[in-house]
């Protein structure tokens, strides 16, 4: 089998989209790519990765740099900012997963992620989070999974989708930084992952609406006073 050319990647995108929209079968899409010289396993990766990107779900098998960027570019052209939001959430989770599993950095894919993040007018945020790393828990090769533990809550696109849904105020105590501090507090809020990270493994795909919830830093810290974390309703019940 030859190398994966840019032309095959572009064909894979269209076939993957046709499969996702149920216009062709998975077998038809795969056979078309194999006929053009793509390995059967790679063909499955390129087909399924579109489905994950468009839904904002984690994908565990990788595509080449051209494929990663081409898929993002086409999704943005065809599905706008909503499609790109989902694709970036998906890619961010993939990068975290891949780096944790392999122990290697994916510099090129991070550059692609950062490039398309700018299209959403996102700027890096300096947000102090409570320490969620349990130093007693060991992960692959004895490493502490500090980046992955916080990555769901730090992911700018997932955070924004969560805040757009719930509002930028604490879902425990209702504190609103914008109302109290004016412009300096506008849109400031932490985002809490409602499922304890250590219980779900690194193949978990985050849903920004079901799995994340806005909370103020005080309530965020209180939620993590025990492991697994308190439930939102549990913490509400403790308030006097």
Closest CA to 2 of 48, 44, 37, 52: 37
Both tokens of residue 79?
A: 């599905």
Domain residue ranges of the chain, discontinuous segments joined by +:
6-120, 140-238
Phi-psi region of 48 (alpha: psi -120 to 50; beta: other; left: phi over 0): alpha
Q: Give percent above pLDDT 70 in the chain.
A: 83
pLDDT 10s digits, 125-183: 545 454 444 444 444 444 434 433 356 677 788 888 999 999 999 999 999 999 999 99
Among 225, 230, 209, 216, residue whose Cα is nearest residue 173: 216
Instruction: Count other C-beta atoms under 10 Å from residue 68's C-beta.
Output: 24
Rounded Cα–Cα distance for residues 198 and 136 (Å)? 11
* pLDDT score of 9 more than 50: yes
pLDDT at residue 232 greater than cutoff 70: yes
Mean pLDDT of 70-93: 94
The model's pTM:
0.73
End-to-end CA distance of the chain: 67
At residue 103 the predicted structure's pLDDT band, cuts being 50, 70 and 90, is: confident
Residue 145 is predicted with a pLDDT of 40
């Amino acid at each position: 089998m030859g190398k994966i050319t840019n032309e095959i990647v572009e064909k894979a995108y269209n076939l993957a989209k046709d499969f996702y929209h149920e216009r062709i079968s998975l077998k038809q899409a795969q056979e078309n790519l194999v006929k053009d010289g793509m390995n059967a396993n790679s063909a499955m990766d390129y087909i399924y990765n579109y489905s994950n990107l468009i839904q904002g779900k984690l994908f565990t098998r990788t595509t080449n740099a051209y494929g990663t960027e081409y898929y993002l570019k086409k999704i943005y052209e065809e599905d706008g900012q909503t499609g790109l939001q989902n694709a970036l959430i998906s890619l961010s989770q993939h990068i975290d997963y891949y780096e944790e599993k392999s122990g290697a950095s994916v510099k090129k894919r991070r550059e692609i992620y950062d490039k398309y993040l700018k299209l959403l007018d996102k700027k890096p945020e300096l947000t102090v989070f409570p320490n969620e790393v349990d130093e007693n828990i060991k992960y692959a090769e004895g490493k502490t999974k500090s980046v992955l533990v916080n990555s769901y809550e730090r992911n700018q696109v997932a955070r924004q989708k969560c805040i757009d849904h719930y509002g930028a105020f604490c879902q425990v105590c209702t504190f609103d930084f914008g109302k109290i501090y004016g412009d300096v507090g506008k849109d400031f809020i932490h985002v809490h992952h409602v499922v304890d990270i250590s219980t779900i493994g690194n193949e978990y795909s985050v849903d920004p609406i079901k799995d994340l919830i806005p909370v103020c830093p005080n309530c965020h810290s209180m939620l993590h006073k025990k492991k697994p974390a308190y439930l939102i309703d549990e913490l509400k019940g403790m308030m006097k």
